[in-house]
């Protein structure tokens, strides 16, 4: 879906631009050192936009110091206090996430909007299924996709009516199918860019599955301009998962894709351990190719034919394979190093 473009710091989202990955720090924003260190690690992992909670004036002021030391746009996450939204913008926030519905009187909303307008800072508004307005819950007979959409559009309209449309909209629900439905509905009704994520998705395991299914359905329909995989875990995992989801959908290029066999009764090496080591080993190698890790020398080479390069383990030894052809045989304990060597000297 074609959305309007919105500039967040030096990045542009919407209008068919690549989908950007967002994450959120879990350090205390007031602790500049820890927050900068986490943002730098996330940036190195592929995070495009970072959001920090701003619960205090001290946190708002810390944004200035943080921003000076990071390379990616910084989004301030505000709940309730309009003064913190203004302070965040005065201290360099590139975007502010705020819901007009929870910051009180019209004067306060207008003060935030005026400040954003003056500085050209986009605002992200939206709705979370857990905080859907009571009248909409009653109108729709519970929390529904339709209710979420009406709420999100209402939040956006409050700001549009104040003469500002530099907006990003988000709809968050931990119910994957409701979230997907709501995105389908809202994409037909607005051209504001959409920030997409499955909220409160859970721990690493279930959160990844729910996010992959939900984002898969939504992004596959061409909906979504920025994404966040929301996990109860290290934000680095959020970024890694988001990159994998975009790559799986063909929406982002780059990085080595590791394919590995599921193992079976023919496997005679520690293939699970080896595949995990390969996956970690390739992370810092800037190639856009497919690497196969197969469990046996009988079927492995054939099954790895679609990969650019691969290894197949036998009993105490293994094979290095290129495009299905065996190029070298070696002891099992040399497989990982040999593969790395090939990748570092890759010429295609």
Task: Give, in order, the Cα–Cα distances in Å from 155 to each of 44, 127, 173, 178, 317.
Answer: 34, 8, 16, 19, 62
Q: Which of the stretches 60-68, 169-177, 235-243, 264-272 binds ligand SF4 when contact is defined by CB under 6 A?
A: 264-272
User: Which CB sits closer to ligand SF4, 119 or 315?
Assistant: 315
Binding of ligand SF4 at residue 300 (CB under 6 A)? yes
Min dist. Cβ of residue 296 to ligand SF4 (A): 3
φ, ψ of residue 27 to 5 degrees: the values are -85, 170
What is the Cα–Cα distance from 301 to 305, expressed in whole angstroms? 6
Binding of ligand SF4 at residue 263 (CB under 6 A)? yes
Contact by Cβ (8 Å): 255, 291: no
Instruction: Tell which one of 237, 303, 308, 342 touches ligand SF4 (CB under 6 A).
Output: 303
Binding of ligand SF4 at residue 305 (CB under 6 A)? no
Give 225-281 as a DSSP string.
SEEEE--BS-HHHHHHHHHHHHHHTTS---SPEEEE----TT--S-HHHHHHHHHHH
Which are the contacts of 141, defined by CB distance < 8 A and separation ≥ 6? none
User: Which CB sits closer to ligand SF4, 248 or 263?
Assistant: 263
Min dist. Cβ of residue 304 to ligand SF4 (A): 8
Q: Which of the stretches 39-47, 166-174, 256-264, 332-340 binds ligand SF4 when contact is defined by CB under 6 A?
A: 256-264
Site size for ligand SF4 (CB under 6 A): 12
Task: State the residue number with the nearest CB to ligand SF4.
Answer: 295
Take residue 210 and report the two structure tokens written for it.
């729910």
Contact by Cβ (8 Å): 27, 34: yes
Q: Which of the stretches 70-78, 95-103, 244-252, 257-265 binds ligand SF4 when contact is defined by CB under 6 A?
A: 257-265
7, containing H or E segment: strand 6-8
Binding of ligand SF4 at residue 278 (CB under 6 A)? no
Binding of ligand SF4 at residue 335 (CB under 6 A)? no
Binding of ligand SF4 at residue 132 (CB under 6 A)? no
Contact positions vs ligand SF4 (CB under 6 A): 261-264, 266-267, 294-296, 299-300, 303
């Amino acid at each position: 879906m074609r959305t309007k473009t919105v500039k967040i710091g030096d990045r542009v989202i919407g209008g068919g631009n690549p989908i950007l990955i967002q994450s959120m720090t879990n350090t205390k924003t007031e602790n500049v050192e820890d927050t900068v260190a986490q943002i730098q690690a996330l940036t190195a992992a592929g995070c495009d936009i970072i959001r920090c909670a701003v619960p205090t004036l001290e946190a708002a002021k810390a944004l200035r110091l943080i921003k000076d030391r990071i390379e990616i746009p910084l989004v301030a996450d505000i709940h309730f206090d309009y003064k913190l939204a203004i302070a965040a913008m005065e201290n360099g926030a590139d975007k502010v996430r705020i819901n007009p519905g929870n910051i009180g009187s019209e004067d306060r909303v207008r003060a935030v909007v005026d400040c954003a307008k003056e500085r050209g800072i986009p605002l992200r508004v939206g709705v979370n299924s857990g905080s859907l307005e009571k009248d909409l819950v009653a109108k729709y007979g519970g929390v529904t996709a339709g209710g979420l959409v009406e709420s999100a559009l209402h939040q956006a309209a409050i700001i549009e009516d104040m003469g500002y449309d530099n907006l990003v909209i988000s709809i968050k629900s931990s119910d994957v199918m409701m979230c997907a439905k709501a995105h389908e509905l809202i994409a037909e009704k607005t051209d504001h860019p959409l920030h997409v994520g499955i909220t409160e998705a859970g721990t690493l395991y279930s959160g990844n599955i729910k996010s992959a299914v939900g984002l898969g359905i939504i992004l596959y329909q061409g909906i979504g301009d920025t994404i966040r995989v929301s996990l109860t875990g290290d934000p680095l995992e959020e970024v890694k998962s988001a990159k994998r989801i975009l790559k799986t959908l063909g929406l982002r290029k780059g990085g080595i894709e590791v394919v590995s066999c599921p193992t079976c009764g023919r496997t005679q090496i520690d293939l699970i351990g080896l595949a995990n080591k390969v996956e970690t080993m390739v992370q810092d190698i800037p190639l856009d190719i497919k690497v196969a890790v197969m469990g046996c020398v009988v079927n492995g080479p054939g099954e790895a034919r679609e990969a650019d390069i691969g290894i197949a383990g036998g009993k105490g030894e293994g094979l290095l394979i290129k495009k299905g052809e065996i190029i070298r045989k070696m002891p099992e304990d040399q497989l990982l190093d040999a593969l790395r060597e090939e990748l570092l000297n890759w010429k295609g």
